[in-house]
Structure 1
Amino acid sequence: MDHPRWIWQQPDWPTFRWHARTLAPLLRSCQQLQGRLLGMAGAIAGDEQVEGELDTLLQNIITSSAIEGERLNVASVRSSLARRLGVVQDAKAATTPRSEGLAELMLDATQRYREPLTAQRLFDWHAWLFAQQDSLLARPIRVGSLRGDEPMQVVSGRLDRPIVHFEAPPRAGLEVQLDAFLAWFNSSHGDAALDPLLRAGLAHFWFVTLHPFDDGNGRLTRAITDLALAQAEHQAIRFYTMSASILADRAGYYHVLETSQKATLDVTPWLRWFLATLQHSLNEALQRIDRVLDKARFWLQHPYQGLLPEQLKVLNRLLDGGERGFEQGISASKYQAVAKVSKATATRHLADLVEKGYLERLLGGGRSTRYHVKH
């Protein structure tokens, strides 16, 4: 018999193996970060927690589609999510069947984490994912059903010289393979011998290798990953997004998938990449929550009565952190641009904020004078 080209052609597929000792440091780090994140998130007040969850879910949907090269209408998706989460003030933008379907899929995957993953549930997710098909597609997508008999390949390059990066298992027997995955996914949820984070990584790799649909396999794979992570944490509220970290290393993502899908059933390299990416997601979330808590503490210590709306707007932008151009504080010209006031008014507002103890001047002076929040 020829040497197997694809991992699913290995005789003991899908009996995955990995080196636990190699993965142990990364796994411990992710577990510790996960614990810290859940602990810190519990200190966030109700409204801010809902806003934070809305932002996380929105980022997850937008970046998961961006990995596939699709740009979504952010306002429309946000409005669809907000309406479902009860955030009325953010539910004003017009929605579309596309945004409604994506919001439904994301919330089903995260909020219904206690329910089993079935073939019908996957078909529903696929139908929501393609609630609005692109009329420019060469051929319609089989929505809510498995792919057809033609080979499922991931290719690039010229039409006359295509490079086949991956070929999925053939259509014959796909139902059996999918049933085996679903049976494992549902039974492994209670397997004390399998770490829940490794389980999420295995689920991601196994499902994306099956590639059971015409299109949307990557986005459904990441939804399954979100479901597995929600099950690992025993809660529906999301504070971090794997999709954003995958997008940040999209080339690395596709490379490790391709090499792992052409290798043996030892998936240590894939799990190492998966855990490192999860670690990055958790660290990003911890930094965001730090900023939220710092902002809450600031406003507890500094009553905002007597401040002008423009001053409040600028202070909140500074407290939110992560704003491009505000890393080194704010200048009068930056204040002018954010608050939409004249240069003289900006200078007067900044002086008032310094006098009241909200801001302090950084070293330097003249036109380059900058200010940052005084904690």
Structure 2
Amino acid sequence: MIGFHSVQITPEVLQLIAKLDEFKGAWRAAGGLAPARLSALRRVATVESIGSSTRIEGGRLSDGEVECLLSNLQGKSFTERDEQEVAGYAEVIERVYSCWEDLPLTEKHIKQLHRDLLAYSEKDAWHRGSYRTSTNGVAASEEDGKQAGLVFETAAPFDIPSLMTELVTWFNEERSAARLHPLLLIGIWVVVFLQIHPFQNGNGPLSRALSTLLLLHAGYAFVPYSSLESVIEQSKEAYCVALRQTQATIRSESPNWQPWLVFFLRALAEQVGRLDRKVEREKTVLAALPELSLQIVEFARESGRVTMGDAIRLTGGNRNTLKQHFRSLVVRGQLRRHGSGRGVWYELGS
């Protein structure tokens, strides 16, 4: 059994949960932003999530390189490990975002998501979607990539099927019973999943995708629009320490959930804070734009790029007037200009 009764509800834990639930309610009540702006936020957050998740595991591709790769996924084969991991995580996270209502937490779906995560890696073909059958302890790594020693023992291969069944059953029963706040329940599920380490490879990225899935199940509809993975990447040392401190105690009589749960809630609060700042900044900036400029920016958001011809068709405006709007948007950083002469086109600024 998972000893969740040792969870301590401290003032900080209460404060973090209250902050997250307040934002959850405000996001639902306000309906978020206009569809075009939501789409732009999600596009940026998706790139950040994919890039950060793969870099946490040792990948080296920048967000810009990830974005370039994602624009040309269709029908492409990948020979580099970094590219394979990016393509796999992109497939999984998009499935979570688009189909979360049809993905209840079951072992079948967990295995399917693991299969998709490693879909582009031939090296991992032999174990995609299957629990591991060999011992696989988690070790700390030095800067030079050499292992610094074992951090904690993961579950024995023989025990994995029963432990995963126990974990999934426990989560679904506790979610129905509502004895524990959903955020605490999700946090415990994630840290136990990582301690079991059910798959040969891909446990870390899969745990982050599953975190997003469970948060969406719990009604935290804003999570696709701000990257939790980016927050974790930027506090990776604290992430690893919190995991180690809790995982070393999970199978004891009194598990110490606090290190991990406090980190997890703080990370979610930072995710919310970043999204809140982005939304407020966007509202402030867009509220000051003239109507023609606003139409140009929204078209660029929806289409990824905009040309003078697009703007004329969209607004019916005069070419010289529109030139002034484009020039002003570039100066303000709202748009970036590419090309020259008749080939000029614009994309959203950073």
The TM tier, using the shorter chain, reads 0.7 to 0.9
In the other structure, the counterpart of 1:17 is 6
Q: 1:168: Cα distance to partner?
A: 0.4
CA change 1:145–1:20 in 2 (3 A) is same
In the other structure, the counterpart of 2:55 is 66
Larger Rg: 1
1:127 partner letter: R
Distance 1:161 1:56 in 2: 32
In the other structure, the counterpart of 1:88 is none
Q: 1:140: Cα distance to partner?
A: 7.0
In the other structure, the counterpart of 1:133 is 121
RMSD: 3.3
State whether structure 2 residue 300 is matched by structure 1 residue 312.
no
Q: How does 1:255-270 map to 2 (within 5 A)?
A: 255-263=241-249, 264-270=254-260
Greater share of helix residues, 1 or 2?
2
In the other structure, the counterpart of 1:245 is 231
In the other structure, the counterpart of 2:168 is 182
The 3-state SS of whatever aligns with 2:152 is strand
In the other structure, the counterpart of 1:154 is 139
1:179-207 alpha-carbon deviations (Å, 9 max, x no partner): 11111233333333321211221121111
2:224 partner letter: R
In the other structure, the counterpart of 1:275 is 265
Q: 1:243: Cα distance to partner?
A: 0.9
The 3-state SS of whatever aligns with 1:154 is strand
In the other structure, the counterpart of 1:332 is none
In the other structure, the counterpart of 1:197 is 183
Distance 1:293 1:205 in 2: 37
Distance 1:126 1:315 in 2: 43
Q: 1:165: Cα distance to partner?
A: 0.9
In the other structure, the counterpart of 2:127 is 142
Q: Is the 8 A contact 1:153 1:164 kept in 2?
A: yes
1:348-373 alpha-carbon deviations (Å, 9 max, x no partner): xxxxxxxxxxxxxxxxxxxxxxxxxx
Gaps of 5+ in 2: 78-83, 295-320, 340-350
Q: 1:238: Cα distance to partner?
A: 1.8
Q: 1:96: Cα distance to partner?
A: 3.8
Distance 1:61 1:293 in 2: 26
In the other structure, the counterpart of 1:350 is none
Q: How does 1:317-356 map to 2 (within 5 A)?
A: 317=334
State whether structure 2 residue 109 is matched by structure 1 residue 121.
yes
Distance 1:13 1:187 in 2: 12
CA change 1:308–1:164 in 2 (3 A) is same
- Given the two structures, how large is their TM-score scaled by the length of structure 1? 0.69
In the other structure, the counterpart of 1:231 is 217
Q: 1:167: Cα distance to partner?
A: 1.4
CA change 1:245–1:39 in 2 (3 A) is farther
Q: Is the 8 A contact 2:24 2:222 kept in 1?
A: no
- Matched residue pairs, number? 298
Q: 1:302: Cα distance to partner?
A: 7.8
Q: Is the 8 A contact 2:212 2:223 kept in 1?
A: no
Q: Is the 8 A contact 1:62 1:72 kept in 2?
A: yes
In the other structure, the counterpart of 2:299 is none
Q: 1:216: Cα distance to partner?
A: 0.8
State whether structure 2 residue 63 is matched by structure 1 residue 46.
no
1:290 to 262, 266, 280: 280
Distance 1:16 1:110 in 2: 32
In the other structure, the counterpart of 1:31 is 21
Q: 1:59: Cα distance to partner?
A: 1.5
The 3-state SS of whatever aligns with 1:20 is coil
The 3-state SS of whatever aligns with 2:149 is strand
